């Protein structure tokens, strides 16, 4: 059993909420991208999220105290995610097949778990590795059941490798910084960097046309989608992600990433009327079984 089962249960609940929102984010992103290009969407998402978190400071709800602390680790954290990760993921999906991109992204929990052994000294149990692979198998199965659309070239492979590397680096760094920086401080720095990088790039892509930058907000579906992405998938999820990595070792925290795939499949079937078969249900069951097994197999 865990030394602090109450704290672990809170972290597990936070992880479930976080990755449920991220699973729904694919549907919201797809809707928003019908109105605005990727860079504009990312700019709106992280700028709104950063402004919302900034409002918490004068209200006294949260604090961002850097006295006696170095800003460099937080800047590095924000560089890994969201900046590098989103570039790698977006261009990787664009230049690869659905199956390949899904399989590559599903490797993040396993890669982070293995990397945590030499970097953080967190050694998973054999049962945890088995159940992690079981969860990954469910993700791969869903990828094989997809339409396999897209094309695979070296740009896609390189971009997805960058996404995996940045996600692993973010996970390890976030976990390592949990003793020195609060979850709010880590989240605030990440959102600030996302806004600071994506907004100039978005304006540059529009040749400085501010009217074109603001025009997507005239579309109601876009506004609703981007607010969901900013509030739920950025402010809430990144805060919860930092909280989870403070409470749980990497092996237990990262396996929940595969829950995102299961939620996105269910959301697509329910809200977008996408096909969903018994085989897809089995794959989702494997994902959930793997997540449950990793938590039950934690070291005493």
> What pLDDT does residue 271 have?
79
Whole-model pTM: value is 0.89
> What pLDDT does residue 26 have?
83
Distance CA(156)–CA(93), nearest Å, equals 7
Distance CA(78)–CA(169), nearest Å, equals 11
Position 202 confidence tier, pLDDT thresholds 50, 70, 90? very high
Q: What is the DSSP letter of 208?
A: T
| Residues 229-265 pLDDT 10s | 999 999 999 999 999 999 999 999 999 999 988 888 8
Position 300 confidence tier, pLDDT thresholds 50, 70, 90? very low
Distance CA(123)–CA(112), nearest Å, equals 11
* Structure tokens given for 4: 């602090």
| Residue partners of 88: CB distance under 8 A and separation at least 6 | 159, 160, 161, 162, 163, 164, 165, 166
| Residues 70-84 pLDDT 10s | 999 999 999 999 999
Comparing C-alpha atoms, which of 258, 260, 253 is closest to residue 135?
Answer: 258
Return mean pLDDT, the chain. 90
* Structure tokens given for 194: 């996302």
> What pLDDT does residue 93 have?
77
> What pLDDT does residue 1 have?
39
Position 99 confidence tier, pLDDT thresholds 50, 70, 90? low
> What pLDDT does residue 287 have?
92
């Amino acid at each position: 059993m865990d030394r602090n089962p109450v704290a672990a249960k809170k972290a597990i609940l936070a992880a479930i909420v976080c990755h449920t929102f991220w699973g729904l984010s694919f549907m919201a992103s797809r809707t928003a991208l019908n109105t605005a290009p990727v860079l504009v969407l990312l700019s709106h998402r992280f700028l709104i999220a950063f402004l919302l978190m900034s409002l918490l400071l004068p209200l006294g709800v949260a604090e961002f105290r850097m006295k006696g602390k170095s800003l460099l680790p937080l800047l590095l954290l924000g560089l890994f995610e969201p900046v590098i990760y989103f570039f790698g993921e977006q261009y990787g999906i664009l230049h690869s097949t659905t199956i390949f991109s899904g399989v590559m992204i599903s490797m993040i929990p396993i890669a982070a778990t293995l990397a945590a052994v030499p970097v953080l000294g967190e050694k998973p149990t054999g049962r945890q590795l088995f159940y992690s692979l079981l969860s990954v198998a469910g993700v791969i199965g869903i990828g094989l059941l997809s339409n396999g659309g897209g094309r695979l070239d070296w740009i896609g492979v390189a971009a997805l490798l960058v996404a995996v590397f940045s996600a692993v680096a973010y996970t390890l760094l976030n976990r390592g910084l949990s003793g020195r920086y609060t979850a709010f401080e880590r989240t605030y720095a990440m959102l600030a960097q996302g806004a600071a990088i994506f907004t100039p790039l978005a304006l540059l892509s529009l040749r400085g046309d501010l009217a074109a930058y603001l025009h997507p907000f005239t579309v109601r579906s876009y506004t609703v989608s981007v607010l969901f992405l900013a509030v739920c998938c950025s402010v809430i999820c990144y805060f919860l992600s930092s909280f989870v990595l403070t409470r749980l070792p990497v092996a237990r925290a990262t396996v929940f990433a595969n829950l995102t795939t299961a939620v996105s499949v269910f959301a697509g079937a329910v809200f977008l009327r996408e096909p969903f078969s018994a085989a897809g249900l089995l794959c989702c069951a494997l994902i959930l079984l793997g997540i449950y097994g990793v938590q039950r197999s934690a070291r005493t």
